[in-house]
């Protein structure tokens, strides 16, 4: 059976990366690994390692993304929880067999990683991303 290994990241929707860094970097003293425009997410993301996980600050660069809609409807805050798994394909098959509602029934493949989202209605209101390094 596929296994959840760790929290890969907690994604936080922010309206402004610099403003958010004023707290996460300057306030808490966390080190920012890098800030990068991620075209596939239509967002600028600040990657901040915290132990074996990361906090990711996500600022949408287009209005038609999930993060932009979340910001418009709920304001800034935690957007999704990403769990790293050892076999995402097997996990998705198992979840589907259990009747868990998925946003992505097969994993999206990107260089070095595969990812898929579980529907928040299946996860008690939490948008859960599954992630596997490849």
Q: Are 46 and 92 in contact (CB under 8 A)?
A: no
What does the alpha-carbon distance between residue 82 and residue 11 come to, in Å, rounded to a whole number?
A: 8
Question: In the bound complex, what is the minimum distance in angstroms from residue 56's beta carbon to a copy of itself?
Answer: 12
What does the alpha-carbon distance between residue 46 and residue 55 come to, in Å, rounded to a whole number?
A: 8
User: H helices within the chain, ranges in order?
Assistant: 17-24, 66-74, 88-97
When asked if residue 93 is in the footprint of a copy of itself (CB under 8 A), the reply is: no
Question: In the bound complex, what is the minimum distance in angstroms from residue 64's beta carbon to a copy of itself?
Answer: 21
Report the half-sphere exposure of 131 (CA within 13 A, side-chain side). Answer: 18
According to CB under 8 A, which one of 38, 40, 45, 76 is a site residue for a copy of itself?
A: 76
Contact mark string toward a copy of itself, 6..45, x via CB under 8 A: xx--x-x-x----xx--xx-xxxxx---------------
Task: Classify each residue of 29-42 as buried b or exposed e, where b means 16 or more C-beta atoms within 10 Å of its C-beta.
Answer: ebeeeeeeeeeebb
Q: How many residues bind a copy of itself (CB under 8 A)?
A: 44
Binding site for a copy of itself (CB under 8 A): 1-7, 10, 12, 14, 19-20, 23-24, 26-30, 50-53, 55, 57, 74-78, 81, 83-84, 91, 94-95, 98, 100, 120, 122-126
């Amino acid at each position: 059976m596929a296994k959840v290994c760790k929290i890969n990241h907690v994604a936080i929707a922010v309206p402004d990366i610099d403003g958010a860094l004023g707290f996460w970097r300057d306030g808490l003293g966390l080190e920012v690994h890098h800030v990068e425009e991620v075209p596939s997410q239509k967002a600028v993301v600040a990657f901040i390692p915290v132990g074996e996980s990361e906090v990711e600050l996500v600022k949408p660069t287009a209005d038609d993304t999930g993060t932009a809609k979340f910001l418009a409807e709920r304001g800034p805050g935690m957007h999704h929880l990403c769990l790293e798994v050892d076999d995402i394909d097997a996990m998705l098959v198992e979840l589907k067999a259990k009747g868990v509602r998925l946003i992505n029934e097969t994993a999206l493949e990107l260089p070095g990683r595969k990812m898929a989202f579980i529907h928040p209605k299946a996860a008690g209101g939490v948008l859960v991303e599954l992630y596997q390094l490849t």
